[in-house]
Chains A and B, each alone.
Chain A
Amino acid sequence: MTGNLYQPINSKIVDIIDESATIKSFVVVPETEFKFETGQFVELTLPGEGEAPFTPSSSPRETGKMEITIMKAGRLTRLLHECKKGQLVGIRGPYGNGYPIDDFVGKEVYIVGGGVGLAPIRSLFLTLVDRIKDFKSVVCRFGARTPEDFIYKKTLFGPWQQIQGVDIKLTVDEATGQWKDNVGVVTTILKSDDVNVKNAVAIVCGPPIMMKFTTLKLLEFGFPAKDIYLSMEKNMSCGVGKCGHCMIGKYYVCKDGPVFTYEQIKDYPNIWD
């Protein structure tokens, strides 16, 4: 690799989509060609303010631009939420391993997502849908705090559910408005016959507590630890396996992840914290 690892690619925010009260998607156009694989992440710099890791939520097929869905969670994300169209930002990456899509061929892909965890999942979902015939089925179980908190509502509540080979069920912690669907945390809608664990892989992305209990449930269903793929979003800073912030045991989440099988990390302490 040549050039400076720490130099971001100049990029521009060309559009901002309000997803929920606390979540926005930013359409970012890098100045030079930028490719990524689904599940890989980028380091997004707000000039002069800071940098943080995000997994693009758009399909890697779109190479001219990418979408990054961001929840207001701390200082930098609050500042990002205040940005307007035209804002200069920096992108470094892509980093990490992404989802091993080819290993999913012929299998049922069981995707469990919660809250803003649907961001990386959308990128994965769009990638799977592009070649939906390669998979036995794509079974999605998504949760949000309230119906308003679901992101990508326009596609999630309609078109995605119509796709042949896709089975989507949604739940909310708290029903508001016209919600007539499931109520309860996402684990309450996971059923042992959702997929055949003998020929399935599970993908989990969401808040740590949700990932923990989903993983426990999947193990209960008989999923082998090696078939549970977790998107571990830690405090990745350099992105290249040096600065140390994102370590889980011997792994650098930025370099060896962010996607890990439960098998890889289950023996390390405090992985869910």
Chain B
Amino acid sequence: METVFVSELKPFLDAVAGQMDLYVPKNAGSHYVYIRYDPSAEAPVEFNNIRACTPVKEFLFPLRELAAVFPEPLEPEEVKPFAVFGLKDCDLRSIEILDKVFTEEEFEDPLYTARREKMFIISSDCFEPGESCFCNILDGQPFAEGGFDLNVSQVKDGFIIQVGTQKGKDFVEKHAELFTTMPDAALVERDENRAEAQKQLERNNVQFALDVPAKDVVRTSYDSDVYDEEAKTCVECQACTRVCPTCHCFYLYDTKQKDYFGKMKMWDSCMRRAYAQVAGGANPRKALGDRLRHRLMHKFSYFLDRYGIDMCVGCGRCVDAEAGGVDIRVVLKKLNEELKDKGKKKAEATK
């Protein structure tokens, strides 16, 4: 893939913002959030070392939106092209997951696809993975090799920009004056940085490493007590599903406006008690442990069966956000240990 170089980020981002709305990460203390880029701002452009604390789904599938108007349908507003800078590999993988759900041929969600088509993705390498990041456990890595229009890697003397799509290529060609010659050692430096970040991730997650893929850890765990045990401290804050970039449950509700009825679409959470309850009162997942199990099963088994990929990217946002301290890495690890014990017992029994 083609790579170009800039010594400063600002002219590059100004050029993006000249073409479309641009969202950039802003350091909000212990984490990053996204704000609209302001080319006239004096503060230097921030290069986020880690993913934002908010999920990328916000750009494609907002917390709440008007899904339909009744009785006279409303022509949807045209979505303007927009760019998001600083997305990480985990974010790109989460977009791939959402695409599977919302752009499938049979039932394409027009609200999602309208935004998706207009999104210009500028990802960047993670050079300081966080304490909660565990993408390496789920075959992820701290840098992207696909799924972006442009990817930015920071090196000593500037930024390497890699082209990922025709859209990205068109941008680079249009703004050829921005780019300078790549310093000789830049690519080597980038690869060293990437390797270091990867090592950092591995060090952080030694205690969470699984012996078998997550799907095999959860698949036989229906009767496991681990879910009830681990859900004991859950306070049903639902933060895990809100910040999760792959959780995509929503509910539809109806509103009365002055001159129309609106059908709204809003994020929902499978950790909510009444989530699966029907009007008659039946509820297949009354207990918290049942809901935690369903959440993990959906992520590592059901979604995989249907779409061929896991529905978790190991971004660790849920670990950071959890008010009750439920840690998905711990749940997986405990199931892993339980599975190992079962295996041992079985082996002993057959001796």
Contacts and interface: CB of A to CB of B under 8 A. Distances in A.
Interface in B275-293: 275-280, 282-286, 290, 293
Nearest to A254: B107
Nearest to A251: B302
Contacts of A6: 67-68, 111, 252, 263, 265
Contact of A245 (B254, B265, B275): B275
A75 B306 CA distance: 34
Contacts of A3: 110
B225 to A, nearest CB: 13
Contacts of B297: 249
Which of B68, B76, B252, B265 counts the most A-chain CB atoms under 10 A from its CB? B252
B14 interface: no
Interface residues of A, number: 47
B73 A7 contact: yes
A213 B259 CA distance: 49
Contacts of B111: 4, 6
A48 B279 contact: no
A79 to B, nearest CB: 11
Contacts of B73: 4, 7
Contacts of B253: 50
A48 B256 contact: yes
Contact of B254 (A49, A73, A247, A271): A49
A235 B251 CA distance: 10
Contact of B263 (A1, A45, A208, A270): A45
B184 to A, nearest CB: 50
A178 B285 CA distance: 42
Given A4-B67, A247-B298, A273-B284, A235 B276 contact: yes
A85 B106 CA distance: 35
A233 B278 CA distance: 9
Interface stretch (A102-110, A151-159, A236-244): A236-244
Contacts of A233: 278
A67 interface: no
A245 B108 contact: no
Given A48-B261, A269-B290, A242 B250 contact: yes
B250 A5 contact: no
Contact of A235 (B277, B293, B294): B277
B107 A241 contact: yes
B302 A250 contact: yes
A5 B101 CA distance: 13
A273 B252 contact: no
B261 A242 contact: no
Contacts of B294: 247
A126 B93 CA distance: 49
A76 interface: yes
B306 to A, nearest CB: 6
Contacts of A50: 253-254
A260 to B, nearest CB: 14
A74 B252 contact: no
Contacts of B108: 1, 5
A37 interface: no
Which of B71, B249, B263, B276 counts the most A-chain CB atoms under 10 A from its CB? B263
A118 B283 CA distance: 22
A224 interface: no
Nearest to B102: A242
B207 to A, nearest CB: 30
Given A52-B279, A207-B280, A243 B68 contact: no
A93 B277 CA distance: 22
Contacts of B101: 242
Contact of B70 (A8, A241, A250): A8
A6 B102 CA distance: 13
Given A5-B109, A6-B263, A47 B290 contact: no
Given A7-B68, A250-B305, A238 B280 contact: no
B151 interface: no
B276 A234 contact: yes
B268 A73 contact: no
B248 interface: yes
Given A51-B263, A242-B109, A269-B222, A88 B256 contact: no
A1 B67 CA distance: 16
B186 interface: no
A225 interface: no
Given A6-B263, A6-B265, A52-B279, A244 B67 contact: no
Contacts of B106: 1, 240
A90 interface: yes
Contacts of A1: 105-108
Interface of A: 1, 3-8, 10, 45-52, 73-77, 88, 90, 207-208, 233-235, 237-238, 240-250, 255, 267, 269-271, 273
Interface of B: 67-68, 70-71, 73, 76, 101-102, 105-111, 222, 248-256, 261, 263, 265, 268, 270, 275-280, 282-286, 290, 293-294, 297-298, 301-302, 305-306
Across the A-B interface, give the 3 residue pairs with the lowest CB-CB distance, nearest first: A74-B279, A48-B256, A250-B302
Given A73-B279, A208-B282, 18 more contacts: A4-B76, A6-B67, A45-B254, A47-B256, A48-B261, A51-B252, A75-B279, A90-B71, A234-B284, A235-B275, A240-B106, A241-B107, A242-B101, A245-B251, A245-B276, A248-B284, A249-B297, A255-B107
21 contacts: A1-B106, A3-B110, A5-B108, A5-B110, A6-B68, A7-B68, A7-B73, A47-B254, A51-B254, A73-B280, A234-B284, A235-B276, A237-B252, A242-B101, A242-B109, A243-B249, A244-B298, A246-B276, A249-B302, A250-B302, A273-B282
